[in-house]
Amino acid sequence: MSRAITLAGVLLLALLLPTLADAATVNRLVNMGSGPGMKYPAFYVVWPGWPLVVHSCGRYWCKVTYQGVVNGWVSARYINRP
């Protein structure tokens, strides 16, 4: 029984770590765009200090989820990772 509980704890931790590692904020008011670049229209505003999840980053742009439901792209220069 103890081994099953330990295994369950390890599996839960393995599921949570990637999410915690990808948590971030922005350091100023930032527009979220529909794609990675200035040619894509901005459709949302990300407020500084509010958490977002970073899914991937290129050299200049990161694909993020904001408030758990809004998906888009934010300039990598404004992202703060803990």
pLDDT of residue 21: 40
Calpha distance 5→16 (Å, rounded): 17
pLDDT of 80 higher than 50: yes
Number of domains in the chain: 1
| pTM exceeds 0.85 | no
Q: Who's near 76: CB < 8 A, 6+ residues apart?
A: 57, 58, 59, 60, 61, 62
pLDDT of 25-62, one tens digit each? 999 999 999 999 999 999 999 999 999 999 999 999 99
Give me the CATH number covering residue 24: 2.30.30.40
Residue range of the domain that includes 55:
2-80
